Amino acid sequence: MTTGADVRDILELTGGENDGPITKKDLINSDKKKSKKTTETLTFKRPEGMHREVYALLYSDKKDAPPLLPSDTTQGYRTVKAKLGCKKVRPWKWMPFTNPARRDGAIFHHWRRVAEEGKDYPFARFNKTVQVPVYSEQEYQMHLHDDGWTKAETDHLFDLCKRFDLRFVVVHDRYDHQQYRKRSVEDLKERYYSICGKLTKVRAPSGTDPKIYIFDAGHERRRKEQLEKLFNRTPEQVAEEEYLIQELRKIENRKKEREKKAQDLQKLIKAADTTTELRRAEKRVSKKKLPQKRETEKPAVPETAGIKFPDFKSAGVTLRSQRMKLPSSVGQKKIKAIEQILMEQGVDLNPMPTEEIVQMFNELRSDLVLLYELKQAHSNCEYEQQMLRHRYEALLKASGGGGGVLGSGLATTIGELGAANSGGAVFARG
């Protein structure tokens, strides 16, 4: 016959320690006590010669074998079964309470634990009120007097601010516009914050510089006017604005591209000037017949001019013909253009790689690349100049012969492009 002990054993209900009221720890951490006992009894020692990492793979912190499948062993509210035991639940009581936020003395009732009887209402800490300053008659007459505001109206404003916790929209709604002048929300804010700033400055100890909040009523009015205009736009105006923004972005992108092309053109012109000066310096040195100092006194070609050939300074044996190999930074179009010009001029594509030939051949190809880039820049400038000229002529026809400011600006741009083209053409011919 089944006894009470058997029933408690089946339901995992035991006596002794489970007597008394149940607590939150018993519901959540019921398995931790058992795990501590089991971990104390089980003792495993790492065998000698086994590394710590290998031993950690064999046993976990609970000294259990590692699981074959992922499992959730976390304790807490995810536990499937709450092990209540034989403890008694904490008693609850229907008791009255008052809310400190109310001043009418209203009494409410709710369920609460008996142990918490007599304590304050827990949500009273969220009752935050705004400290509205209070001024005296003497302070008002000395520091706060304003011709546009009477003391009665100022007192009415501060009373509403205190009642509605500086919610100026509500203050404006409850303002007595029949007895006093009609004020806007910005007027109420300006008067309130100006008084607060003056009181803070007057009441501050001597020698201190208090922080005063300044409310800019004019800026707030303009901001609201702009928001109202933005809100009252028609769909046609919105579409026009989006179109203008896209056109502005296109103009800015074209401007950046034009500035970048101008910078690249200036670099090419500067590189051509530098290369010309280097050639003249080499001729002067050769005329003085100082071959022993040629290598030391010869200035190197700058990186921006033509091709930058790599220097082979590594240890070991190298072929001089490797110095004639074009670097990977040179594109295929430039390589084909160089080969075509060399074939037209009757120059061998693979000459005998002596010291002097290698140097002169590399300089020749560098000058050819510079010439190729100058020609490209010159053709681009001519294309842009022609396009702007057509636009200028079309605008002149549309305006009836008077271009105005726009025509003069286009004419200036065309003139600048023409000057740049002429400079590029001179260096290309040089």
Give yes or no: residues 247 and 210 share one domain. no
Question: Which residue stretches of 126-176 are H helix?
Answer: 137-139, 151-163, 168-174
Question: Angle at which helices 185-203 and 217-231 pack, to 10 degrees?
Answer: 150
What was the pLDDT predicted at 243?
Answer: 95
Give yes or no: residues 334 and 378 share one domain. yes
Please identify every stretch of the chain with a pLDDT value under 70, giving residue numbers as ranges.
1-5, 12-44, 59-86, 279, 282-283, 285-306, 308, 310-318, 401-430
Assigned domain for 317 exists: no
Q: Are 16 and 5 in contact (CB under 8 A)?
A: no
Give yes or no: residues 214 and 254 share one domain. no
What was the pLDDT predicted at 111?
Answer: 94
Give yes or no: residues 214 and 251 share one domain. no
What was the pLDDT predicted at 37?
Answer: 52
The C-alpha atoms of residue 414 and residue 389 are separated, in whole angstroms, by 7
Give yes or no: residues 142 and 207 share one domain. yes
Give yes or no: residues 187 and 252 share one domain. no
The number of C-alpha atoms within 13 Å of 295 and in the hemisphere containing its C-beta is: 4
What was the pLDDT predicted at 169?
Answer: 95
In terms of residue numbers, what domain contains 153? 137-232
What was the pLDDT predicted at 78?
Answer: 57
Assigned domain for 336 exists: yes
Question: Which residue stretches of 232-317 are H helix?
Answer: 235-287, 294-297
Assigned domain for 178 exists: yes
Assigned domain for 62 exists: no
The C-alpha atoms of residue 317 and residue 9 are separated, in whole angstroms, by 91
Give the residue from 71, 102, 126 where a domain finishes: 126
- Give the residue from 146, 30, 155 showing the smallest Cα distance to 85: 30
Give yes or no: residues 228 and 141 share one domain. yes
Assigned domain for 301 exists: no
Assigned domain for 69 exists: no
Structure tokens at 91: 């008693």
- Give the residue from 131, 145, 137, 130 showing the smallest Cα distance to 195: 145
Assigned domain for 223 exists: yes
What was the pLDDT predicted at 403?
Answer: 47
Q: Give the pairing type, strands 92-98 and 107-113.
A: antiparallel
Give yes or no: residues 204 and 263 share one domain. no
159: CATH: 1.10.10.60
Give yes or no: residues 376 and 346 share one domain. yes
DSSP letter at 323 equals G
Domain count, the chain: 4
What was the pLDDT predicted at 365?
Answer: 82
At a CB cut-off of 8 Å and minimum separation 6, what does 309 contact? 323, 327, 362, 366
Assigned domain for 57 exists: no
Q: What are phi and psi of 95, to 5 degrees?
A: -130, 155
Give the residue from 215, 232, 249 where a domain finishes: 232
Give yes or no: residues 226 and 174 share one domain. yes
The string of pLDDT tens digits covering residues 337-364 is 888 888 888 887 778 878 788 878 888 8
What was the pLDDT predicted at 294?
Answer: 45
Give yes or no: residues 178 and 216 share one domain. yes
What was the pLDDT predicted at 265?
Answer: 79
Give yes or no: residues 225 and 248 share one domain. no
